[in-house]
Structure formats: structure tokens, C-alpha cells
Structure 1
């Protein structure tokens, strides 16, 4: 079929479906079949038209919505397709709004397609599509809730939504990430120095939360200080995860839990919960979660130099090994000369080697 006919037929069929007074099951199936065949060939203008028409309908087949989302992804229109009710997802509200986020940016609006895909447990979300949806869900609670409710999505992909999850779902995310390897790139990170931990304690002792956050960021190798906000109840977990990512000991972490924020210190149950998170979460998972939550990249310094006496120890071991090897080779030659061809006398050569190795050792 010619491309121009595809656009016309898809628009007409959409209009007929949207304008029908009552959508019988048979008519819905007929439209679904035709739409699924044509949407993959829809041009940008046609796709926007179809999405705008269907976004206003409560009973649009989920498979059609998924096809529109997939085609929009192919055409780079994921952020501009019409939202539920016919409004464009990329359009910002005019005039002041009480829902503005800090900094004056309007809150993100999830499209009807996003929510339909997130709530459809049978919808297969590709890696790129899921990544885009999670990025929008960071600022859209209902979309975040829908994605977190699904059990078929990779835990690592949902890690940026950790702050939107309840305690049970957070525990499930940590457990799932631990089972799938957590963050293997962070397994070789070294522990901080006592001086760095002492500096954190000093800042926490005097209630200097800004200094504490800056020193923590420095310890994690961050170029800038994230907006930690550990005093917020929903971010208490992040304090435990950040200290674990840093490599602090359990004793050091508990002390910081008790002195950094007075409100936190008085909440015994919360402190116990943070200790459990610290104990049960692999350090690699803590690193991966902190990176996902705060959109940062941890770069702890690697152990690049060996202690001064290590080269001397290695040289001594190598010399001893060379001496032992020479002794063993000499014993073998001596055993070969002393042994007769008879099988019974070959044991003497092996005994000579054993004695030489024992004496050399």
C-alpha cells in the first residue's frame, strides 16, 4: 500500500472508532487488527493525530497504545505525543501554579500512553523505552507507582525510583539487585582513611550538615555535592547507603546515625532499620542505588601504590623460589646419574628430590 494511503486509512479508521456511539467487541477487534498493521508505517503527523484521538477514549485497546508508543519511540516523538485528555505532554502550563517544583520548573506530566503501558503487566517494555519512562516517572508519582508495582521489570532499571517506593518495595529492590550482581564495577573500591571518617564525625558532632555532605561527596569522588537532604524521612535510607558506598564501618555508621540529625537519633525504630540496611546490603548495591537516586557517578580512589616493604618481600620470595628451583634441578640430575635402569632403584632419585626440597624449604 502506498504511504499516503496508509496515512489516510489510519486517520479515517481512527475517526470511525472514536466516533462510534457504542464500541462493540467485534468493532474493537477489527480496529485493533487494522491499527496494529498500519501504525508501524505512520508518519509523525498521523501518529500525533491518532494518539490525540485515542487518548480521550477510555477503552482503547492496550496493544494499540503500545504500538503508538513504540512508533513514537522510533520517530523520536516519545515526549511530544498527546497526553490523556488531549493535552500535549511537552506543553507547560501557563501562569503560576501551586504545583511548581523548586527552581520554578513545572511538574512533569505522564501521558496516557505511559500509564497504560506501565499498568499493563503484559506489555513488554524495551530497554530504551523503559529508561525514558523511568526518567519521566522520577517526577510523576502515579507513573512511578505503576512501574514499581510491576514485578517483571529489572530491579536495576527501577533503582532511580527508589525514593517513590515503600519500605517493602525498597527491600525487594535491594534484594533483587544483590541477586543479579548489584554493581560489579564497584567491587574493587577501597575503604576510606581514618582521617576521612574522623572528618565526617567532626562535622556531624557539631551539626554542620553542609560540611558533612561536602566531605561525604569528596570521599565518594564526586565533582559536586548532591542535594543529599538526609534529614527527610524518605531519604534516611540514603544516609545508610551513602556511608556503605563510602566504605565506612558499621560502628562509624551507627555513630553518624545518632549524631547527625537529632530527629533521626530519637527515632529508635528508624535507626535500627538503617543498621539492618547497612548490614544486609552489599556495598556494590549501595553504590548502584546512590548513583541512580542522585544521578551521579561514584569514583572512589583505587589503591594505586603498594606499601614500601612490599617490593623487598616480593624480591626475597622470588630469590627463595629461584634457589629452591636450582636445588631441585641439581637433585634431579644427581638422581638420574645415580639410578640404574632398573625400576626398583628409581625411588632413590625421587627421594633425593624430596630431601632437597625439604632442606631448601
Structure 2
């Protein structure tokens, strides 16, 4: 069949299907096989036309939606089901069907298409298509639930939906993100100073949530203060994750759990749960989750892997024994910390080296 006839036939058949009474469309036996045969040969403008027509229907055929997505990926379309006619490798301007209605909720037809794809375990979701669906799912709980229920999607792509997940799914997300390599870089991030931790304690101790949130944002290098809302049960986890992202010591975090919000402090099980999250989650995973949940970018400087006077420390260790022992290496790591005043840090390093030298002589 000539390519131009394919385009005409597909458009006409789609118009007939979309314009038929709802009762006549229920089976869609006549439309589906023909559409599936033709969509694989559809040109970009025809594919987008078919997608727009089906978007007007409350319950479009899922097999046809899958075929549109597959063909769209072959043609390099960013998101054919939502009017994306641009390249999949570049952000195309959103079409009319992608504009949210005034209250911020996507149109019902778009949500129906999203749900059909999200609930179809055979539909391949990735790249720009998945990114856009996740962005819409932040405002559509049913869509978020459907995406979170899938086991074939990258954990970091689902991180923005963390607040929509139950406790078991949240734990699975944190674990999967850690296994994806999220636990390596946190060792290089600076730790907060004692003064910064004290400032957080001062605000938490008297329940000054606004001041606490502002100081926490400053510690994370944010230019604006997010709407933390840690007092909401769904966001209790975020308090532990934000403090972990900051690099707060465990004892400091527990004190904040017990003082910032009275309702939280009275819930022993919740406090224990936050401590477990704090202990078991890599710092870089906490950073990634906070960034995804609040749509922010944490800016923390990385510390050197050795202090400025590392050479002198190594010389002292070698003079005291036959080499650089394990304790001296620990002292080197301690010297790179920024949560101690300079003089105290040097003293700590010196004591560590002396201890190593004593054991070497013994």
C-alpha cells in the first residue's frame, strides 16, 4: 500500500472510531487490528493526529496506545501521547494537550492515557516519556501509585514520587537507589560545623519551625527555603533525609526528632523509624531524594581526601615506626573533616598519630 494511502486510511479510520457513539466503540474489534497494522507505517504528523483524537476518549484501546508509543520512539518523538512533536533528545515546547488545567491537575483524557500505559506491564517506559509521566504523577495519586507498582522502572526516575509511596515501597526505593551506586560520593561531602548544628538545635528546642527550616536550607546551600512541612506524617521521612543530606551526626538528628515537633516526638514508633532511615540510608541517596521530592538542587562543597598538612603527618608516623599504620590513616581521614575547629582538628590528628606510634613500638 502506498505510504500516502496509509496516512489517509489511518486518519479516516481514527475519525470514524472517535466519532462513534460510546456503545459502538466498546469492543473496538474493527478499529484495533487495522490501526495496529497501519501505525507501524505512520508518519509523525499522522501519529500525532491519531494520538490527539484518542486523547479525547475516556477509555482508548491500550494496544493502540502502546503502538503509538513504540512508533513515536522509532520516529524520535518526545511524547506523542501528549502532543510532543520534538526530538526525544531535546525538550520540545509543550503542546496544548500537555498544559495543566487551572488547578494544576492534568486533563482527564491525558490522565487516562497515562494510566493505561502505567498499568500495562508490557509498555516500555523510559527517557523523556517516563520523565514527563512522573512529573504529571506528582499531582495525580492514581498515576503515581501505578508507576510505583512497576518493578521495571529505574528507582531514581521514581524518586520524585517518594511521598506517594507506602513505607515498604519507600524502603525499597532507598535500597534500590543505594545499590545503583548512590552510596559512594557522600564520603566526600563536607560535614556541618558545630555552630551550624547548634543553630539547628536552638531553633528545634523552642519549636521555631520556620527558623529551623531556613537554617537547614542554608546548610544545604539552597538559595530559597522549601516548604519542608516536616510536621505532616507523610513528610516525617524527609526530616531524617534532610538532616542526613546535611551530614548531621546521629545524636544531633535524634535530638531534633525529639524536639522540633511535639506530635512527632510523642510517636515512639515513628522516631525509631526515622533513626533507622538515618542509619541505613547512604548520604548521597538522601541528597538525591530530597532534591527529587522538593525539586531543588543541594549545593555542598566536597572536602579534600587529606588535610593540608598530610605530608608532615606521614613523616611523623614514619619516624615513629616502620610505616603508616591503620590508626594514622584514620587520623588522616579525621584531618579532612570540617566539623571541628582547625586547632582541635590538628590536635586530634596529633593524638591519633601518637597512638599509632605507641602501638608500633609495642
Mark yes or no: TM-score above 0.5: yes
Post-superposition CA distance 1:187-214 (Å, at most 9, x none): 4112212111111101111222121111
Distance in 1 (CA, whole Å) between partners of 2:17 and 2:174 is: 45
Q: How far, CA to CA, are the matches of 1:33 and 1:174 in structure 2?
A: 39
Counterpart in 1 of 2:125? 125
Aligned partners of 2:145 and 2:165 also within 8 Å:
yes
| Cα distance in 2 for residues equivalent to 1:75 and 1:308 | 52
Q: TM-score, normalised by structure 1?
A: 0.74
Tell me, in whole angstroms, the C-alpha distance in 2 between the residues paired with 1:57 and 1:120: 18
1: CA distance, partners of 2:80 / 2:183: 29
Query: Which residue pairs with 1:37 in the alignment?
Result: 40
SS of 2:115's equivalent? helix
The count of aligned residue pairs is 307
Residue equivalent to 2:65? 65
2:146 maps to what in 1?
A: 146
User: What displacement does 1:298 show?
Assistant: 1.8
Matched residues in 1 for 2:79 and 2:119: separation? 21
Residue 172 (structure 1) aligned with residue 175 (structure 2)? no
Which segments of 5 or more consecutive residues in structure 1 lack a partner in the other structure?
Answer: 83-87, 101-105, 322-361
Distance 1:26 1:279, change over 3 A: same
Classify 1:28/1:183 alpha carbon distance in 2 versus 1 (closer, same or farther; 3 Å): farther
Structure 2 match to 1:266: 266
CA contact (8 A) 1:178 1:285 kept: yes
What is the alpha-carbon distance in structure 2 between the residues aligned to residue 50 and residue 78 of structure 1? 9
Alignment of 1:71-82 (within 5 A): 74-76=76-78, 78=80, 80-81=82-83
Report Cα offsets for 1:249-269 as digits up to 9, x if no partner.
Answer: 211111000110111111122
Equivalence for 2:218:
218
Offset at residue 309 of structure 1 (A): 4.8
CA drift at 1:301: 2.3
Aligned ranges 1:177-192 → 2 under 5 Å: 177-182=177-182, 184-192=184-192
Contact 1:242–1:286 at 8 Å: present in 2 too?
yes
Aligned partners of 1:81 and 1:89 also within 8 Å:
yes
Which residue does the alignment assign to 2:357?
none
Aligned CA-pair RMSD: 3.3
Query: How far apart are 1:26 and its partner, in Å?
Result: 6.3
Q: 1:78 to 1:137 in 2, by over 3 A?
A: farther
The unaligned stretches of length 5 or more in structure 2 are: 85-95, 322-362
Look up the match of 2:97.
89
SS of aligned partner of 1:181: helix
Shift of 1:14: 2.1
CA contact (8 A) 1:174 1:285 kept: yes
Matches within 5 A, 1:223-302: 223-302=223-302
**Secondary structure at the residue paired with 1:178?**
helix
1:164 & 1:7 partners in 2: Cα distance? 41
Note if contact 1:35-1:64 (Cα within 8 Å) is conserved in structure 2: no
In the alignment, which residue of structure 1 is the partner of 2:352? none
C-alpha separation in 1, matches of 2:248 and 2:100? 44
